[in-house]
Amino acid sequence: MARECELLATCIFFNDKMANYPAAADHLKKKHCLSDPASCARMMVVKALGRPAVPQDLFPNHTSRAEQLILQQKGLITP
């Protein structure tokens, strides 16, 4: 079931506030922000570590990077 992300209003990715914005951003917004927020790397970090822990340059499709960041912050792997 499609649903919008609860953080749309303040998400720097969704609101075009990130540097080096990709041409494929509209596709990412539709896929993650407007349909499946749980698949968004930014949301993964918010849920696991809190909003301040989300890197400015983290895109919704960078789930591997998000998983690594979460594991590092929890002390389960070393950087």
pLDDT per position as a tens digit, 12-69:
888 887 666 666 788 888 888 889 999 999 999 999 999 999 999 999 999 999 999 9
Q: Which residue has the tokens 């749980």?
A: 38
Alpha carbon distance 21, 75 (integer Å): 31
Quote the tokens at residue 22.
Answer: 């990709």
Quote the tokens at residue 59.
Answer: 């895109």
Q: What is the pTM of this model?
A: 0.81
Q: Which residue has the tokens 């301040």?
A: 52
Alpha carbon distance 58, 40 (integer Å): 10
Q: With beta carbons less than 8 A apart as the criterion, state whether 66 and 43 touch.
A: no
**pLDDT (0 to 100) of residue 48:** 97
